[in-house]
Amino acid sequence: MNFETWEPVYERILADFGFDRSADERARDDLARLAEPFDESRLRVVDGETVAVVGAAPSLPDEVDRAADADYVFAASTAADVLRDRGVAVDLMVTDLDKNPETARELTREGVAVAAHAHGDNRPAIREWVPRFDSEHVLATTQAAPVGPVVDYGGFTDGDRAAFLADEFGAEELTFVGWQFDDPTVDEAKARKLAWAERLLGWLERRRGERFSVLDGRRPSLDLLTSESEVDDESQQ
């Protein structure tokens, strides 16, 4: 996904949460100064394969076998810890550094790719942790416009961003493990973010022409997102 397609949705997210776009851009610029260009061909190995997009819901410990059955595993945040503790290898960790940056550091030192994300309120974590990673294995991401080595392929939370990354790198099928949109253990702010993750996955499955089982029974209530670019494309057909 290019930024022109993503930007109208990003602007809706900014408006809904009252986020400051310039704060995202400052964080992105911090990350750009610390990151190096990432060899994306490493993640193109998922082209035509099944990728398990693994979230950190309380149900995850009971579902790890489903992740192990996939060809590749993209894990959001602390899901990486649960998987590794149970012997399931992680091919990409997606994180905004807010919970377990030590795991991200360890993975890069082991040669595992980590998508490290910049947003408006994680600048201190970026400056503290990214220099401690093995830079060769860091894919720098933003939700604002891409700059230098920092890319934006869509997505808002760690979990849905993992799905957008799998899509970008050509995954044939996405399976969702450890997801719970109505997680009673999260606070109100996180619940709102999960609602956006749900909308974004609905948008992604529509773009892919795929049906994500994680959305079964939930589609009638979804706010179907359509970017301005898609509206333009459809009006010309």
Question: What is the token pair recorded at 71?
Answer: 């060809």
Yes or no: say if 86 and 103 are a contact pair by the CB < 8 Å rule.
Answer: no
Cα–Cα distance between 162 and 74 in angstroms, integer? 6
Quick: pLDDT tens for 89-132: 999 999 999 999 999 999 999 999 999 999 999 999 999 999 99
Beta bridge partners of 194: none
Residues 69-85 have pLDDT tens digits of 999 999 999 999 999 99
DSSP 8-state secondary structure symbol assigned to residue 98: S
**pTM (predicted TM-score):** 0.94
At residue 227 the predicted structure's pLDDT band, cuts being 50, 70 and 90, is low
Which helix (H) or strand (E) segment holds residue 228: the answer is: helix 228-235
CA distance 207 to 166: 13
Edge to edge, the sheet with strand 138-142 lists 138-142, 113-118, 92-95, 72-76, 50-54, 173-177
CA distances from 45 to 171, 208, 216 (A): 9, 19, 28
Q: Quote the CA–CA distance of 64 and 207 in Å, as a whole number.
A: 28
> Contact at 8 Å (CB) between 55 and 38?
no
Q: Is 55 within 8 Å of 176 (Cβ atoms)?
A: yes
What CATH number is given for 3-235 in this structure? 3.90.1480
- Please report, for the chain, the start and end positions of each structural domain, with discontinuous segments joined by +: 3-235
Average pLDDT, the chain: 94
User: Residues with Cβ < 8 Å from 112, sequence gap 6 or more?
Assistant: 90, 91, 92, 93, 137
Buried b (16+ CB within 10 A) or exposed e, 210-227: eebebbeeeeeeeeebeb
State what percent of residues in the chain have pLDDT above 90.
91
